[in-house]
A and B are shown apart, each in its own frame.
Chain A
Amino acid sequence: MASQAVLDQETFETFRNWRLNRAQYAKEWKQRTGGRVMGYFCTYAPEELMYAAGILPVRILGSHEVQDVTEPHIFAMFCPFCRDCLAQGLKGRFDYLDGIMIAQSCLHIRQTFTSWQKHIPIDYSYYLPMPHHVQSRRATPFLTKELEVFKDSLEKWLGKTIDERAIDDAIEVYNRNRRLLWRVYELRKGDRPPLTGEEAMEVVLSSQMVDKQDHNAALEGLLAQLSKREPARPTGTRLMILGSENDDMEFIRMVESFDATFVIDDHCTGTRYFWNDVELDGNRLHNIADRYVKRVPCPTKDWPERTRVRHVLELAEAYGVQGAIVIQQKFCDPHELDIPALTRALNNAGIKTLFLEFDVTVPIGQFKVRVEAFLEMLQEDDLF
Chain B
Amino acid sequence: MISAGIDIGAKTVKTVLLEDGKILGKGLVPAGLDTVASTKQTLKRALAAAGLTVEKVEGFMATGTGRKSCPFTDAEITEVGAAAKGINHVLESCRAVIDVGAEEGRAVRCDAKGKVIDFAFNEKCAAGAGTFAEGMARALEIPLEELGPLSLKARQAVPMNAQCAVFAESEVVTLIHNKTPREDIARAVLDAIASRIISMVRKVGFEKDVALIGGMALNPGFVESMKRGLEMDVHVPEDPEYIGALGAALAAAEQTT
Contact = CB atoms under 8 A, between A and B. Distances in A.
B119 A369 contact: no
Interface stretch (A36-44, A110-118, A373-381): A373-381
Interface stretch (B1-9, B46-54, B77-85, B140-148): B77-85
Contact of B78 (A357, A366, A369): A369
B40 interface: no
Contacts of B81: 373, 376-377, 380
B115 A380 contact: yes
A376 B116 contact: yes
Contacts of B118: 352, 377
Contact of B77 (A363, A370, A376, A384): A376
Interface residues of A, number: 12
A373 B79 contact: yes
Interface in A346-362: 352, 357
A168 interface: no
- Give the one of B65, B79, B123 with max A CB within 10 A: B123
Contacts of A95: none
B168 to A, nearest CB: 20
B124 interface: yes
Given A369-B78, A376-B78, 19 more contacts: A352-B118, A357-B123, A363-B124, A366-B121, A369-B65, A369-B79, A369-B121, A372-B78, A373-B79, A373-B80, A373-B81, A373-B116, A376-B81, A376-B116, A377-B116, A377-B117, A377-B119, A380-B116, A384-B115
11 contacts: A366-B121, A366-B124, A373-B79, A373-B80, A373-B116, A376-B78, A376-B80, A377-B81, A377-B118, A380-B115, A384-B115
Interface of B: 65, 77-81, 115-119, 121, 123-124
A384 B65 CA distance: 27
Contacts of A363: 124
A222 B115 CA distance: 43
Nearest to B123: A357
Given A363-B124, A380-B81, A373 B65 contact: no
Contacts of B77: 376
Contacts, number: 32
Report whether over half of chain A's contact residues are helix, strand or loop; otherwise say mixed.
Answer: helix
A142 B216 CA distance: 60
A384 B112 CA distance: 14
A286 B191 CA distance: 60
Contacts of A373: 78-81, 116, 119
Contacts of B119: 373, 377
A90 B124 CA distance: 29
Contacts of B78: 369, 372-373, 376
A384 B117 CA distance: 13
B104 to A, nearest CB: 8
A370 B78 CA distance: 9
B145 to A, nearest CB: 28
Nearest to B115: A380
Contacts of A357: 123
A145 B159 CA distance: 57
Contacts of B123: 357
A155 B240 CA distance: 72
A372 B76 CA distance: 11
Contacts of A366: 121, 124
Contacts of B79: 369, 373
A40 B182 CA distance: 57
A363 B124 CA distance: 9
Shortest Cβ-Cβ A-B pairs, 4 listed: A373-B80, A373-B78, A377-B116, A372-B78
B108 to A, nearest CB: 9
A248 to B, nearest CB: 16
Contacts of B80: 373, 376-377
Nearest to A353: B118
Nearest to A363: B124
A333 to B, nearest CB: 17
Nearest to A354: B119
